[in-house]
Amino acid sequence: MKILSAGAVAPGLTKVIDMFQRQTCAEIKLAFATAPEIRRKLAADEYADVVIAPAALLDELVAAGTLTKRRIALGRIGVGILVRDDAPVPRITDAAELTQALLRADRIIYNQASTGSYLDGLFPRLGIAAEVAAKIIRYPDFAAVRDHIAKGCGSEIGFGATTVIIENAGKGVRSAGPLPAAIQNFTEYAAASHLNAGDDAACFLDHLATSATQSLLQSTGIV
């Protein structure tokens, strides 16, 4: 069975799949991609039995006749901030503090997925779009963001899903905390099966809906 998933849910999803495979002996091929890449792959007729993605993207894929209407909610994931391990953690308790931290930063690093799309709209709301434009560096995915921050220098601030920032602590980066509550953005993630998927996909969706699975997902920061 092939599963194509957004990377933000990776910390919890890998554990869920391990549990499912132990219980069922199913063989699963798991691939991660950003939401735009998931859209591109499926539009190019790349097949996946189960797709896990932001709810808005699943709506598109259902309307396009790619996925079934049945979906299982995994939960919401917020936006977090990361810095290099040996860099000072900026004060970001509210929007004003975050704004000042961004204005002082040498570079601002984020992805081209859901997090990046939100930040593109946030900086104008904070009134700093013009001031920070030249500092921004964007990468296709979080792994590249993490590597840039870990190997970087000077004052750099990175952004990503809170789940993957927590998972990557100790790999040259550390969490500075989530976005302040007043400007936080949560992306809802869910799973749906392909119209041509078989019983294994339905069984996996059933597994995602169990209380044990939901508890496991919550333990990795999916709320």
Nearest-angstrom CA–CA distance, 2 and 41: 13
Please check whether residues 85 and 37 belong to one and the same domain.
Answer: no
pLDDT at 25: 87
Question: Mean pLDDT of all residues in the chain?
Answer: 96
Please check whether residues 65 and 88 belong to one and the same domain.
Answer: no
Assigned token pair, 202: 């339905």
Please check whether residues 50 and 69 belong to one and the same domain.
Answer: yes
Please check whether residues 29 and 64 belong to one and the same domain.
Answer: yes
Please check whether residues 12 and 69 belong to one and the same domain.
Answer: yes
Structural domain for 162, as ranges:
79-183
Q: Which residue has the higher pLDDT, 173 or 221?
A: 173
Please check whether residues 83 and 162 belong to one and the same domain.
Answer: yes
CATH code where residue 203 lies: 3.40.190.10
Nearest-angstrom CA–CA distance, 162 and 183: 14
Mean local confidence (pLDDT), 24-35: 94
Residues 6+ apart with CB under 8 A from 64: none
pLDDT at 38: 97
pLDDT digits (tens, 9 = 90+) for 42-87: 999 999 999 999 999 999 999 999 999 999 999 999 999 999 999 9
Nearest-angstrom CA–CA distance, 169 and 21: 27
pLDDT at 3: 98
Please check whether residues 149 and 90 belong to one and the same domain.
Answer: yes
pLDDT digits (tens, 9 = 90+) for 176-208: 999 999 999 999 999 999 999 999 999 999 999
Please check whether residues 16 and 32 belong to one and the same domain.
Answer: yes
Please check whether residues 165 and 87 belong to one and the same domain.
Answer: yes
Please check whether residues 201 and 169 belong to one and the same domain.
Answer: no
Mean local confidence (pLDDT), 122-139: 98
Please check whether residues 174 and 97 belong to one and the same domain.
Answer: yes
What is the pTM assigned to this prediction? 0.89
* Other CB atoms within 10 Å distance of the CB of residue 210: 14
- The total domain count for the chain is 2
Please check whether residues 54 and 95 belong to one and the same domain.
Answer: no
